[in-house]
Chains A and B, each alone.
Chain A
Amino acid sequence: MEIPAELERTIDEVITHYPASKRSAVLPLLHLLQEHFGFISKETADWVATKLELQPINVLEVVTFYPMFRAAPPGQHHIRVCRTLSCAMGGSYKLMNDLCELAKIERPKHAGHGTPFTVGEDGRFSIEFVECLASCGTAPVCMVDDDFYENVSRESAAEILAKYHEASPQTVS
């Protein structure tokens, strides 16, 4: 694992925002590192602990607590399907099944220990259930990377996936 000099400079600067306790810098640091690496590996988490003079367990607690931090590499495009009440009633479980089938990904567990998402064999897509995406009126909804999709049916799901196939035709090595 290598941290580019510029990223480390940013990190060092961010730490100065928390003069009372460096511990408070855990979250911003993890965000910066996930932006750079796509996920927070064990080495990355331990690096943060060393950087902030914490025990590694203190950082691991934060990484595993927040669902937005990923402890394993996601696919090229990451799909989030809402499963909170309105979407659940509006068919999000069926949507999850459809997306998994179309993108050839094993369906993730609802929730539980460890990594909540699954990655397709070709590495193109990864998928997970998330809590409310704040669009109850247009259920079921999902996100692919930072793009938002409403009233997603099996047909529109296929179209959405095709779009990302075209956008990045090469498979990940």
Chain B
Amino acid sequence: MSNPSTTTAPPPVQLLNVQVDGVWHQFPKGTRVIEACTQAGKYVPRYCYHPKLSSPGNCRMCLIEMGMPKMGADRKPETGADGKPVINWIPRPQISCAQDVAEGMGIRTDSPMAQECRKGVMEFLLINHPLDCPVCDQAGECRLQEFSVEYGNDSSRFLEEKVHKPKHVDLGPRIVLDDERCILCSRCVRFTKEIAKDDALGFVDRGSYSTLTAHPGRRFDNNYTLNTVDICPVGALTSKDFRFKMRVWFLKETRSICTSCGTGCNTVIGSREETMYRQTPRENNDVNSAWMCDYGRLNFHYLHDERRLTAPLLRQADHTLQPVEWRKAFATAAQQLREFKGEEIAVVASARMTNEELYMTRRLADALKCSLVDVVPRTGEADDILLSADRNPNTSGAQLLGIGGDKLGSRLAEIVEGVRTGKIHAVVCLGEDLSEQGLDAKVLEELPCLVAMSILPNATTRAATVVLPGSGFAEKRGSMINVKGRLQRLNHAIPSPGDARDDWEILRDLIQALTGSNGLYMIEDVFKAMSNDVSALQGLSLSKIGDLGVQVVTEAESREVPKTPLETATAAQPT
């Protein structure tokens, strides 16, 4: 176990007494006033403040009334009848986002002065705003809308002509900007500079003409740009991929993880009925902070590819593949596999499969008495933010479950060679394509038994004797272990298309067709069986994993969760 947050004792933190709206609370030293208010149940509205970015204090929405203890002649705080310090209230409002709490501080989040400040800020913000909410893609998740309802005015006093600014600005390959909606909070500017390390955005001109822009001739194009769409409090920055596809209030939200690399960024999937429309990052300070990369975020459209496999297929006498019922497909696959001895069979699995599926793969291999099992490694270029060089999401899971030996992929060459030389007669290929391993269609077609489980057709499914249509990452439950050894959960957001089935169920039914009933009815049963077999998973269950995951193995890759300069500075300081 190497999770510092659970194993290292936290250094002792000084607690400070702070009064929030008349009630005394205690907060650790270093707590932002705005965060202290939230912790005390008094949410203070904000636009520019973002806990993961530096605090410029430029929007003034978080104004509150603040006071410090009144000092007596002896330079000691005076105490009142209740034994608590008497507070000297500062006559002017203060911003709560750029200051830490102090001993004896008083805060009023809802006094007449604070209320008037918010009303005033809201009025100013809306002066030049186009008020085009009905056609704005942010509607439903817009801070300007929300705070207008709570703190704004019911009508506008502004009679003058509004300032006009650029619209439909093609900021980069994935982002469109509407400058008239921008409230100049600078969250996007700070994100791209502080987190994406690409100082690409800025404000030109001045006053009410201030305009967010990239440098003329420079595109806003790094692998993290879409995070600015998430943190933009208004509809100024919109995602080309998502805009106008669905009103957000129709979206069902499902907590899951990204499966496009070994980092396993925590996500929220937005779906409606059978369609996934987007995924956005979900905060997890042990994995992805509050961010995800554009590549992973947009890598889900294949789920709705019109070529999806939607029914089991069987090779016919005339060599065509025809749809059949599941029962027939399992019976035929089992019959074909039974023709061969264990050493004539190979199983090629995928580290894109969940632990549960890989565990079932192991049971399948056992049922076939086959020892030639491996998974296909998949690598790409890493960056020093989130993206891992391991493009398989569950390499650690495959390793933990002992699929593919010590080094993943080390037996692939033997499998390929065996198929070529005719030593291997049957291959079960799960979620991979053997043609990528150098086995061309002709060789594959000659196999008397090729069982392929996949969600999209490929050279392997086209050459298969039995095709079993599986589910994509948003269509199933299960767990994976990321490169840092953290066990995390996938969740079911949308149904699989047609007759396609959950992969673990396919494997269970195939094993059942080979060896009879195995007592696994729900995915929970699979996890239970797995946790009995694998010591690192002992005592866990899918529900115990929770939304933020648990550390189960030593990290394979040590990778810092992105930090702001401020966080880095505070981490370096002794408290």
Please report A residues at the B interface, Cβ cutoff 8 Å.
42, 54-58, 60-61, 64-67, 111-114
Within the complex, the shortest CB–CB distance from B190 to chain A, in Å, comes to 13
Please report B residues at the A interface, Cβ cutoff 8 Å.
163, 165, 199-207, 209, 211, 213-216, 218
CA distance A66 to B203 in the complex (A): 12
What 7 A-B pairs are tightest by C-beta distance, nearest first?
Answer: A57-B202, A64-B204, A57-B215, A55-B199, A61-B202, A56-B215, A64-B205
Q: Which residue of B lies closest to A46 (CB)?
A: B215
Q: Which residue of A lies closest to B166 (CB)?
A: A113
- Of the candidates A42, A58, A64, A112, which one forms a contact with B199 in the assembled complex, judged by CB atoms under 8 Å apart? A58
Q: Which residue of B lies closest to A65 (CB)?
A: B206
Are B218 and A56 in contact, with the CB atoms below 8 A? yes
Are A57 and B201 in contact, with the CB atoms below 8 A? yes
Quick one: which of A42, A55, A111 has the most chain B CB within 10 A? A55
Within the complex, the shortest CB–CB distance from A71 to chain B, in Å, comes to 10
Are B205 and A57 in contact, with the CB atoms below 8 A? no
Are B202 and A60 in contact, with the CB atoms below 8 A? yes
Within the complex, the shortest CB–CB distance from B218 to chain A, in Å, comes to 7
Given contacts A55-B200, A57-B200, A113-B165, contact A65 B205 (CB under 8 A): yes
Q: Which residue of B lies closest to A55 (CB)?
A: B199
- Of the candidates B199, B201, B202, B211, which one forms a contact with A113 in the assembled complex, judged by CB atoms under 8 Å apart? B211
Within the complex, the shortest CB–CB distance from A140 to chain B, in Å, comes to 23
CA distance A60 to B215 in the complex (A): 8
Q: Which of chain B's residues have a CB closer than 8 A to the CB of A42?
A: 216
CA distance A113 to B216 in the complex (A): 15
Are A55 and B209 in contact, with the CB atoms below 8 A? no
Are A57 and B199 in contact, with the CB atoms below 8 A? yes
Quick one: which of A42, A60, A66 has the most chain B CB within 10 A? A60
CA distance A136 to B213 in the complex (A): 37
CA distance A112 to B205 in the complex (A): 8
Q: Which residue of B lies closest to A112 (CB)?
A: B209
Quick one: which of B200, B205, B211, B215 has the most chain A CB within 10 A? B215
Q: Which of chain B's residues have a CB closer than 8 A to the CB of A64?
A: 204-206
Given contacts A55-B199, A55-B215, A113-B165, contact A60 B204 (CB under 8 A): yes
Quick one: which of A42, A57, A58 has the most chain B CB within 10 A? A57
Q: Which residue of B lies closest to A66 (CB)?
A: B206
A to B CB contacts below 8 Å, 26 in the list: A54-B199, A55-B200, A55-B202, A55-B215, A56-B215, A57-B199, A57-B201, A57-B202, A57-B214, A58-B202, A60-B204, A60-B215, A60-B216, A61-B202, A61-B203, A61-B204, A64-B204, A65-B203, A65-B204, A65-B206, A66-B206, A111-B209, A112-B205, A113-B209, A113-B211, A114-B205
